[in-house]
Amino acid sequence: MKLLVTGGAGFIGSAVVRQAVAKGHEVVNLDALTYAANVENVASVSTSNLYSFEQADIRDRVRLDEIFALHRPDAVMHLAAESHVDRSIDGPGDFILTNINGTFNMLEAARGYWTRAGKPAGFRFHHISTDEVFGSLGDTGQFTEETPYDPRSPYSASKAASDHLVRAWAETYGLPVVLTNCSNNYGPFHFPEKLVPVVILNALHGRPIPVYGAGLNVRDWLYVEDHADALLTVVAKGELGRSYNIGGENEARNIDLVRLICRLMDEMHPAGAPHDRLITFVTDRPGHDARYAIDPARIRAELGWRPSVTLEEGMRRTVRWYLDNEAWWRPLLDRQGVGQRLGTKA
Protein backbone atom coordinates (compact mmCIF):
# COMPACT_ATOMS: atom_id res chain seq x y z
CA MET A 1 0.00 0.00 0.00
CA LYS A 2 1.23 3.50 -0.82
CA LEU A 3 0.41 5.88 2.03
CA LEU A 4 0.35 9.66 1.99
CA VAL A 5 0.97 10.65 5.62
CA THR A 6 0.43 14.30 6.54
CA GLY A 7 2.36 15.56 9.55
CA GLY A 8 4.80 12.69 9.22
CA ALA A 9 7.66 14.61 10.84
CA GLY A 10 5.65 15.19 13.99
CA PHE A 11 5.37 13.03 17.09
CA ILE A 12 2.59 10.60 16.17
CA GLY A 13 3.02 10.96 12.42
CA SER A 14 6.68 9.97 12.53
CA ALA A 15 5.81 6.85 14.53
CA VAL A 16 3.33 5.94 11.77
CA VAL A 17 5.95 6.59 9.08
CA ARG A 18 8.59 4.46 10.81
CA GLN A 19 6.20 1.56 11.38
CA ALA A 20 4.68 1.74 7.91
CA VAL A 21 8.07 1.54 6.23
CA ALA A 22 9.06 -1.32 8.54
CA LYS A 23 5.91 -3.17 7.44
CA GLY A 24 6.82 -2.72 3.76
CA HIS A 25 4.47 0.11 2.82
CA GLU A 26 5.53 2.92 0.52
CA VAL A 27 5.25 6.21 2.42
CA VAL A 28 5.05 9.80 1.20
CA ASN A 29 5.65 12.09 4.17
CA LEU A 30 3.97 15.48 3.69
CA ASP A 31 4.98 17.99 6.36
CA ALA A 32 5.30 21.77 6.53
CA LEU A 33 8.11 21.46 9.12
CA THR A 34 6.58 23.92 11.56
CA TYR A 35 7.98 24.42 15.08
CA ALA A 36 6.97 20.99 16.43
CA ALA A 37 8.20 18.96 13.46
CA ASN A 38 11.66 17.44 13.20
CA VAL A 39 13.13 15.53 10.27
CA GLU A 40 15.31 13.66 12.78
CA ASN A 41 12.13 11.84 13.83
CA VAL A 42 12.24 9.88 10.56
CA ALA A 43 16.00 9.70 10.09
CA SER A 44 15.93 5.93 10.57
CA VAL A 45 13.88 5.45 7.38
CA SER A 46 14.97 8.47 5.34
CA THR A 47 17.27 6.45 3.08
CA SER A 48 14.74 3.68 2.40
CA ASN A 49 13.54 3.32 -1.18
CA LEU A 50 10.04 3.04 0.32
CA TYR A 51 10.21 6.59 1.72
CA SER A 52 9.86 10.01 0.13
CA PHE A 53 9.38 13.46 1.62
CA GLU A 54 7.42 16.50 0.43
CA GLN A 55 7.71 19.74 2.36
CA ALA A 56 4.30 21.31 1.93
CA ASP A 57 1.61 23.07 3.94
CA ILE A 58 -1.88 21.56 3.99
CA ARG A 59 -3.18 25.12 3.69
CA ASP A 60 -1.68 25.25 0.16
CA ARG A 61 -4.24 23.56 -2.09
CA VAL A 62 -2.16 23.91 -5.27
CA ARG A 63 0.77 22.01 -3.72
CA LEU A 64 -1.58 19.32 -2.44
CA ASP A 65 -2.97 18.74 -5.92
CA GLU A 66 0.56 18.47 -7.29
CA ILE A 67 1.57 15.94 -4.62
CA PHE A 68 -1.49 13.74 -5.19
CA ALA A 69 -0.90 13.76 -8.95
CA LEU A 70 2.79 12.98 -8.58
CA HIS A 71 2.62 10.19 -5.98
CA ARG A 72 -0.86 8.66 -6.59
CA PRO A 73 -1.36 7.23 -3.07
CA ASP A 74 -3.62 4.30 -2.24
CA ALA A 75 -4.62 5.90 1.06
CA VAL A 76 -4.26 9.13 3.02
CA MET A 77 -3.46 9.22 6.73
CA HIS A 78 -4.19 12.77 7.80
CA LEU A 79 -2.36 13.63 11.03
CA ALA A 80 -1.11 17.16 10.31
CA ALA A 81 -2.54 19.50 12.94
CA GLU A 82 -1.78 22.13 15.49
CA SER A 83 -2.18 20.16 18.71
CA HIS A 84 -1.02 22.00 21.84
CA VAL A 85 -4.00 23.16 23.91
CA ASP A 86 -2.03 25.89 25.68
CA ARG A 87 -0.91 27.38 22.37
CA SER A 88 -4.50 27.29 21.12
CA ILE A 89 -5.54 29.46 24.06
CA ASP A 90 -2.89 32.07 23.27
CA GLY A 91 -3.27 31.97 19.47
CA PRO A 92 -6.38 30.19 18.18
CA GLY A 93 -6.03 31.50 14.63
CA ASP A 94 -3.35 29.01 13.60
CA PHE A 95 -5.56 26.17 14.83
CA ILE A 96 -8.50 27.34 12.72
CA LEU A 97 -6.36 27.77 9.60
CA THR A 98 -4.52 24.45 9.89
CA ASN A 99 -6.98 22.09 11.54
CA ILE A 100 -10.15 23.29 9.79
CA ASN A 101 -9.07 24.99 6.56
CA GLY A 102 -6.18 22.57 6.10
CA THR A 103 -8.45 19.55 6.51
CA PHE A 104 -10.88 21.09 4.00
CA ASN A 105 -8.00 21.41 1.52
CA MET A 106 -6.94 17.82 2.12
CA LEU A 107 -10.47 16.56 1.60
CA GLU A 108 -10.90 18.50 -1.63
CA ALA A 109 -7.49 17.46 -2.96
CA ALA A 110 -8.21 13.83 -2.09
CA ARG A 111 -11.69 13.99 -3.62
CA GLY A 112 -10.36 15.49 -6.83
CA TYR A 113 -7.61 12.89 -7.11
CA TRP A 114 -9.99 10.02 -6.29
CA THR A 115 -12.55 11.23 -8.84
CA ARG A 116 -10.00 11.68 -11.63
CA ALA A 117 -8.65 8.19 -10.90
CA GLY A 118 -12.10 6.72 -11.50
CA LYS A 119 -13.02 6.35 -7.82
CA PRO A 120 -10.92 3.23 -7.13
CA ALA A 121 -12.58 0.98 -4.56
CA GLY A 122 -9.45 0.54 -2.47
CA PHE A 123 -8.83 4.23 -1.80
CA ARG A 124 -9.51 5.65 1.64
CA PHE A 125 -9.02 8.86 3.60
CA HIS A 126 -8.12 8.18 7.24
CA HIS A 127 -8.64 11.18 9.49
CA ILE A 128 -6.81 11.02 12.82
CA SER A 129 -8.39 12.99 15.67
CA THR A 130 -8.51 13.24 19.46
CA ASP A 131 -10.73 12.25 22.37
CA GLU A 132 -10.76 15.91 23.42
CA VAL A 133 -13.60 16.55 20.95
CA PHE A 134 -15.90 14.75 23.42
CA GLY A 135 -15.30 17.23 26.23
CA SER A 136 -14.91 16.26 29.87
CA LEU A 137 -16.08 13.23 31.85
CA GLY A 138 -17.08 12.97 35.48
CA ASP A 139 -15.72 10.36 37.85
CA THR A 140 -17.27 7.49 35.89
CA GLY A 141 -17.97 6.52 32.30
CA GLN A 142 -15.93 6.38 29.10
CA PHE A 143 -16.05 7.97 25.67
CA THR A 144 -17.56 5.76 22.97
CA GLU A 145 -17.90 6.44 19.27
CA GLU A 146 -21.46 7.64 19.97
CA THR A 147 -20.53 10.17 22.67
CA PRO A 148 -21.85 13.63 21.71
CA TYR A 149 -19.22 16.20 20.82
CA ASP A 150 -18.57 18.86 23.49
CA PRO A 151 -15.20 20.54 22.80
CA ARG A 152 -13.94 22.96 25.47
CA SER A 153 -10.79 24.56 23.99
CA PRO A 154 -9.92 26.22 20.68
CA TYR A 155 -7.81 23.15 19.89
CA SER A 156 -10.54 20.59 20.53
CA ALA A 157 -13.14 22.76 18.79
CA SER A 158 -10.96 22.94 15.68
CA LYS A 159 -10.49 19.16 15.72
CA ALA A 160 -14.23 18.63 16.21
CA ALA A 161 -14.89 20.82 13.19
CA SER A 162 -12.42 18.81 11.11
CA ASP A 163 -14.14 15.56 12.14
CA HIS A 164 -17.48 16.98 11.00
CA LEU A 165 -15.99 18.01 7.65
CA VAL A 166 -14.68 14.49 7.04
CA ARG A 167 -18.08 12.94 7.77
CA ALA A 168 -19.81 15.51 5.56
CA TRP A 169 -17.49 14.73 2.63
CA ALA A 170 -18.29 11.05 3.06
CA GLU A 171 -22.05 11.65 3.11
CA THR A 172 -22.22 14.33 0.41
CA TYR A 173 -19.55 13.21 -2.03
CA GLY A 174 -19.15 9.54 -1.19
CA LEU A 175 -15.48 9.97 -0.27
CA PRO A 176 -14.34 6.71 1.37
CA VAL A 177 -13.28 7.70 4.88
CA VAL A 178 -12.41 6.20 8.25
CA LEU A 179 -11.90 8.18 11.45
CA THR A 180 -10.08 7.56 14.71
CA ASN A 181 -10.09 9.44 18.02
CA CYS A 182 -7.21 8.71 20.36
CA SER A 183 -6.34 9.32 24.00
CA ASN A 184 -3.19 11.11 25.23
CA ASN A 185 -0.03 9.82 23.56
CA TYR A 186 3.45 9.61 25.05
CA GLY A 187 6.76 8.04 24.07
CA PRO A 188 9.99 8.74 22.17
CA PHE A 189 10.25 11.84 19.95
CA HIS A 190 7.56 13.73 21.91
CA PHE A 191 8.10 17.47 21.42
CA PRO A 192 9.43 18.92 24.70
CA GLU A 193 6.54 21.28 25.46
CA LYS A 194 4.13 18.47 26.38
CA LEU A 195 3.64 17.14 29.93
CA VAL A 196 5.69 13.94 29.86
CA PRO A 197 8.89 15.37 28.31
CA VAL A 198 8.55 18.52 30.44
CA VAL A 199 8.57 16.39 33.58
CA ILE A 200 11.51 14.27 32.42
CA LEU A 201 13.67 17.19 31.29
CA ASN A 202 12.87 19.42 34.26
CA ALA A 203 13.68 16.56 36.61
CA LEU A 204 16.92 15.95 34.74
CA HIS A 205 17.95 19.59 35.12
CA GLY A 206 16.75 20.01 38.70
CA ARG A 207 14.12 22.58 37.72
CA PRO A 208 10.59 22.89 39.16
CA ILE A 209 8.13 20.40 37.68
CA PRO A 210 4.89 22.32 37.03
CA VAL A 211 1.62 20.55 37.76
CA TYR A 212 -1.61 22.36 36.84
CA GLY A 213 -4.09 22.86 39.68
CA ALA A 214 -3.97 19.99 42.15
CA GLY A 215 -2.93 17.46 39.50
CA LEU A 216 -6.25 15.62 39.74
CA ASN A 217 -7.10 15.74 36.02
CA VAL A 218 -7.29 12.20 34.64
CA ARG A 219 -6.05 11.05 31.24
CA ASP A 220 -5.93 7.71 29.43
CA TRP A 221 -2.29 7.27 28.33
CA LEU A 222 -1.45 5.56 25.03
CA TYR A 223 2.10 4.61 24.06
CA VAL A 224 2.78 6.19 20.68
CA GLU A 225 4.07 3.00 19.04
CA ASP A 226 0.84 1.24 20.05
CA HIS A 227 -1.13 4.11 18.54
CA ALA A 228 0.79 3.89 15.27
CA ASP A 229 0.06 0.17 15.12
CA ALA A 230 -3.65 0.84 15.69
CA LEU A 231 -3.73 3.49 12.95
CA LEU A 232 -2.13 1.18 10.42
CA THR A 233 -4.65 -1.50 11.41
CA VAL A 234 -7.56 0.89 10.84
CA VAL A 235 -6.34 2.19 7.50
CA ALA A 236 -5.93 -1.39 6.27
CA LYS A 237 -9.01 -3.07 7.77
CA GLY A 238 -11.39 -0.43 9.15
CA GLU A 239 -14.93 -0.31 7.81
CA LEU A 240 -15.56 2.67 5.55
CA GLY A 241 -17.57 5.43 7.18
CA ARG A 242 -16.76 4.02 10.61
CA SER A 243 -14.99 5.72 13.50
CA TYR A 244 -12.82 3.94 16.04
CA ASN A 245 -11.77 5.12 19.49
CA ILE A 246 -8.17 4.21 20.34
CA GLY A 247 -7.20 4.16 24.01
CA GLY A 248 -4.30 2.92 26.08
CA GLU A 249 -6.45 1.39 28.84
CA ASN A 250 -4.14 3.25 31.24
CA GLU A 251 -6.00 5.92 33.20
CA ALA A 252 -3.96 8.02 35.62
CA ARG A 253 -4.25 11.30 37.45
CA ASN A 254 -1.67 13.84 36.31
CA ILE A 255 -0.08 13.96 39.75
CA ASP A 256 0.26 10.17 39.83
CA LEU A 257 1.81 10.19 36.35
CA VAL A 258 4.30 12.85 37.42
CA ARG A 259 5.20 10.85 40.53
CA LEU A 260 5.71 7.73 38.41
CA ILE A 261 8.14 9.61 36.18
CA CYS A 262 9.94 10.98 39.22
CA ARG A 263 10.30 7.45 40.62
CA LEU A 264 11.73 6.22 37.32
CA MET A 265 14.11 9.18 37.25
CA ASP A 266 15.22 8.31 40.80
CA GLU A 267 16.07 4.85 39.50
CA MET A 268 17.74 5.84 36.22
CA HIS A 269 19.26 9.20 37.23
CA PRO A 270 19.84 8.89 40.99
CA ALA A 271 22.11 11.94 41.17
CA GLY A 272 19.05 14.18 41.34
CA ALA A 273 16.90 12.03 43.62
CA PRO A 274 14.36 12.40 45.05
CA HIS A 275 12.94 14.12 42.00
CA ASP A 276 9.43 14.50 43.42
CA ARG A 277 10.80 17.31 45.63
CA LEU A 278 10.69 19.41 42.42
CA ILE A 279 6.90 19.09 41.97
CA THR A 280 5.36 22.58 41.99
CA PHE A 281 1.63 23.21 41.74
CA VAL A 282 0.74 26.12 39.43
CA THR A 283 -2.44 27.91 38.46
CA ASP A 284 -4.64 25.66 36.36
CA ARG A 285 -5.14 26.47 32.69
CA PRO A 286 -8.51 27.88 31.55
CA GLY A 287 -11.12 25.27 30.62
CA HIS A 288 -8.97 22.33 31.76
CA ASP A 289 -11.03 19.16 31.17
CA ALA A 290 -11.33 17.04 34.31
CA ARG A 291 -11.16 13.53 32.87
CA TYR A 292 -10.80 11.66 29.59
CA ALA A 293 -11.30 7.91 29.27
CA ILE A 294 -11.78 5.84 26.14
CA ASP A 295 -13.83 2.70 25.64
CA PRO A 296 -11.87 0.80 22.95
CA ALA A 297 -14.41 -2.03 22.64
CA ARG A 298 -15.16 -1.40 18.96
CA ILE A 299 -11.59 -1.55 17.66
CA ARG A 300 -10.93 -4.58 19.86
CA ALA A 301 -14.02 -6.47 18.72
CA GLU A 302 -14.00 -5.52 15.02
CA LEU A 303 -10.28 -5.27 14.22
CA GLY A 304 -8.68 -7.35 16.97
CA TRP A 305 -6.48 -4.52 18.23
CA ARG A 306 -5.62 -3.63 21.79
CA PRO A 307 -2.64 -1.84 23.39
CA SER A 308 0.40 -3.94 24.17
CA VAL A 309 2.33 -1.64 26.53
CA THR A 310 1.41 -0.91 30.14
CA LEU A 311 1.83 2.59 31.52
CA GLU A 312 4.73 1.54 33.75
CA GLU A 313 6.62 -0.16 30.92
CA GLY A 314 5.89 2.53 28.37
CA MET A 315 6.95 5.29 30.71
CA ARG A 316 10.13 3.38 31.58
CA ARG A 317 11.00 3.14 27.88
CA THR A 318 10.22 6.83 27.43
CA VAL A 319 12.38 8.04 30.32
CA ARG A 320 15.24 5.85 29.12
CA TRP A 321 14.90 7.24 25.59
CA TYR A 322 15.12 10.87 26.72
CA LEU A 323 18.13 10.14 28.92
CA ASP A 324 19.87 8.48 25.97
CA ASN A 325 18.94 11.04 23.27
CA GLU A 326 20.04 14.47 24.40
CA ALA A 327 21.29 15.18 20.87
CA TRP A 328 17.66 14.99 19.71
CA TRP A 329 15.95 17.15 22.35
CA ARG A 330 18.68 19.69 23.17
CA PRO A 331 18.26 21.80 19.97
CA LEU A 332 14.47 21.82 20.37
CA LEU A 333 14.66 23.68 23.68
CA ASP A 334 15.51 26.86 21.74
CA ARG A 335 12.35 26.79 19.64
CA GLN A 336 9.71 29.45 20.20
CA GLY A 337 7.62 28.95 23.32
CA VAL A 338 9.43 25.88 24.64
CA GLY A 339 10.08 26.16 28.37
CA GLN A 340 7.58 29.01 28.79
CA ARG A 341 4.21 28.91 30.51
CA LEU A 342 1.60 29.19 27.74
CA GLY A 343 -2.18 29.23 27.75
CA THR A 344 -2.72 31.92 30.38
CA LYS A 345 -4.13 34.71 28.23
CA ALA A 346 -7.74 33.76 28.88
At 252, give phi and psi (nearest 5°). -155, 145
Selected catalytic residue, list 51, 113, 155, 322: 155
Paired sense of beta strands 218-223 and 251-253, if any: antiparallel
In three-state secondary structure terms, 28 is strand
Torsion of CA 54, 189, 34, 284, to 10 degrees: 150
Query: Catalytic site residue 35?
Result: no
Q: For 146, list phi and psi in degrees, rounded to 5.
A: -100, 0
Which of 26, 31, 82, 131 does the annotation list as catalytic? 131
Catalytic (active site) residue 244: no
CB atoms within 10 A of CB 64: 25
Please tell me whether residue 335 adopts helix, strand or coil conformation: coil
β-partners of residue 177 are 125
- Marked catalytic residue, from 26, 57, 86, 132: 132
Strands, DSSP E only, in the chain?
2-6, 26-31, 51-55, 75-78, 124-130, 177-182, 184-186, 209-212, 218-223, 243-246, 251-253, 279-282
Q: Cα separation of 126 and 244, whole Å?
A: 11
- Based on the residue annotation, tell me whether 276 is a catalytic residue of this protein: no
Rounded Cα gap, residues 249 and 66, in angstroms: 41
For 302-328, b/e burial (b = at least 16 CB within 10 A) is: ebebebebebeebbbbbbebbeeeeeb
Q: Which residues are catalytic?
A: 131-132, 155
